[in-house]
Structure 1
Amino acid sequence: MNKRLSGKEIRSVFWRSFALQTAFNFEKMQNVGYAYAMIPVVKKLYNKEEEQSKALKRHLALFNSTPAVTPIIMGISAAMEEENANNPESFDSSSINAVKAALMAPLAGIGDSIFFGTLRVIAAGIGLSLSKQGNILGPILFLLIYNIPHFLLRIYGLKYGYKFGVNSLSEIQKNGVMDKIMSVVGIIGMMVVGAMVSTMLKVSTPLKFNMEGASVKLQSIFNQIMPDLLPLLFTLLVFYMIRKKVSVTKLTVFILIFGVLAHVIGIL
């Protein structure tokens, strides 16, 4: 008999999604809040403690996205967990986290633009203009303008995220589309990481040396070889250390100490 999630579990995920950032950490960000929201799904679909443990560990992977759009991803995750529980032999459970990782960055970009970059600004402008006049509607309108779309997106995002997953996953698995999706996900992931490295990570050196009476900056040589070469090398070094199972916490502390010392010495 196939296991199916009921409205009770979906509603529970909805309310728990508001706790997404309550245990935010700098290693895996919103992972604890995400796993907390998925507990009703895990308990409903898996009877054995070992299966529940594996499912919760899956959702403790790194996750970070705009809270308002996260229920969409949670709905898809719930549908994928349902498929995994019903077809454990044919379903690739690693695809659950892969889809999460692929969706969180693009949806975060959309969510940040809409809610933080647009709605919040509009709501604050209207609210402040009325509040300056002593009108009680100022704070009320601020909360309503921002939160009505926010709540609606959470409700319908979770609903249709789950519905889309339930109706589509079986067909996707049969047609081999999932393999293509995973390939595209990998490409998009690498593009996002590459773009972040080139635009957000700034590593340069002020070192220079004299050659035949002329002062040559080392950074200009690096730029001629490849723009943003140092950020790329630094990223590859961090990636290598992570592959070697070095703790992210230790890496973070090392990078902070190294950055301060390198700046004091004058090499970076």
Structure 2
Amino acid sequence: MAYNIPEKYQDLTPAPQLDKKTLNKMVWMSCFLQASFNYERMQAAGWLWGILPGLQKIHTNKEDLKASMAHNLDFLNTHPFLVTFVMGIVLSLEQNKADTQTIRSVRISAAGPLGGIGDALFWLTLVPITAGITANMALEQKSIVGAILFLVIFNAFQFVIRWWLMHWSYNLGTKAVTMLTSNAKEFTRAASILGIFTVGALIANYGGTTVRIAIADPAINVQGLIDGVLPKLIPLLITLGLYALIKKGWTPIKCIILILVVGILGCAFGIWTGDSKAIDENGAGINGGYNPLVEWYELPAAE
């Protein structure tokens, strides 16, 4: 039998403020937001699990708690690291015994913009910057410390954000929704620009694709000519090419397959340089670091 969620709670007396211990507990529990992810209600079960300690303290009336749990099982899809922002707002409304329909509407309007903001803040900004710094440490020092440091920095940052958003939005109430929606576009754009700038710097710093070809007699190193025009030109062209393909409708999977095919064929025909630091039997460096399957030109003799 379907449960009809009432529009108003039976006990309309505002509940006392939630203590910091309960708020902090819900911050920890919000980490399991996607533990019960499904395609019917997305993150609804994890959302209810995370917010339940607060609801239990707010609604001492069992029927009100039942109604609150029911409407908090509505479809929800938001950024998992910023979900405590929505939790704080909803808890503030629940505490003041707002209409259930009002709470449901505010929850949807608050959760929606967080997807773009969270992606810009974390995946386009924090991850490239942190990964770029720690990956460089791991490569130079040949140590696992870089990988550990990445995990520590990333998770510490996202957990501090969870904790701060929970307390800030709970104390601010519905005003937080207005602040979010009025500045969401500008914030997302600023974070996206910073992320794109960082990704561009990573391409210039770590883009290692180079040409192995030598032409003319005496042999001319093609890569040397390209570096004279613009260093890291080939990684830049590859990035711009993939961007153009994605704009035309290509999926990331197709782009990855294309890169694999071009990379394998290019190495087989001696087009791309492989920097494996390989040496021959005499200890001299092997140009390109590998022997291509098809040799259609001669490299200059190693000095």
Q: Same fold (TM over 0.5)?
A: yes
Partners of 2:92 and 2:14 in 1: CA distance: 13
Which residue, 67, 77, 80 being the options, matches 1:67?
80
Is the 1:3–1:82 Cα contact (8 Å) retained in structure 2?
yes
Partners of 1:45 and 1:152 in 2: CA distance: 25
**Residues 59-208 of structure 1 aligned to structure 2 (within 5 Å):** 59-84=72-97, 91-133=98-140, 134-165=142-173
Unaligned runs of 5+ in 2: 1-12, 182-303
Deviation at 1:8, TM superposition (A): 2.4
Deviation at 1:136, TM superposition (A): 3.2
Deviations 1:65-99 (A, max 9, x none): 11111101101111111011xxxxxx322111111
Q: Residue 3 of structure 1 corresponds to which residue in structure 2?
A: 15
SS of residue in 2 equivalent to 1:78:
helix
Partners of 2:93 and 2:22 in 1: CA distance: 14
Q: Is 1:24 equivalent to 2:31 in the alignment? A: no
Structure 1's 121 and 101: CA in aligned 2 closer, same or farther, altered over 3 A?
Answer: same
Structure 1's 48 and 76: CA in aligned 2 closer, same or farther, altered over 3 A?
Answer: same
Q: Is 1:57 equivalent to 2:70 in the alignment? A: yes
Q: Cα RMSD between the aligned structures?
A: 2.4
The worse-fitting range, judged by mean Cα deviation, of 50-59 and 120-129 is: 120-129
Counterpart code for 2:147 = P
Partners of 1:95 and 1:103 in 2: CA distance: 12
**TM-score scaled to structure 1, two decimals?**
0.57
Partners of 2:124 and 2:40 in 1: CA distance: 26
Q: Residue 256 of structure 2 corresponds to which residue in structure 1?
A: none
The higher radius of gyration belongs to: 2
Q: Residue 33 of structure 1 corresponds to which residue in structure 2?
A: 46
Structure 1's 2 and 81: CA in aligned 2 closer, same or farther, altered over 3 A?
Answer: closer
The worse-fitting range, judged by mean Cα deviation, of 136-145 and 61-70 is: 136-145
Deviation at 1:47, TM superposition (A): 1.9
Is the 1:119–1:145 Cα contact (8 Å) retained in structure 2?
no
Deviation at 1:2, TM superposition (A): 4.5
The worse-fitting range, judged by mean Cα deviation, of 92-101 and 119-128 is: 119-128
Partners of 1:128 and 1:94 in 2: CA distance: 48
Partners of 1:47 and 1:104 in 2: CA distance: 27
**TM-score scaled to structure 2, two decimals?**
0.51
Partners of 2:58 and 2:99 in 1: CA distance: 16
Partners of 1:97 and 1:2 in 2: CA distance: 18
Partners of 1:39 and 1:148 in 2: CA distance: 24
SS of residue in 1 equivalent to 2:77:
coil
SS of residue in 2 equivalent to 1:67:
coil
Unaligned runs of 5+ in 1: 85-90, 170-177, 185-268
Counterpart code for 1:3 = A
Q: How many correspondences in the alignment?
A: 166
**Residues 226-265 of structure 1 aligned to structure 2 (within 5 Å):** none
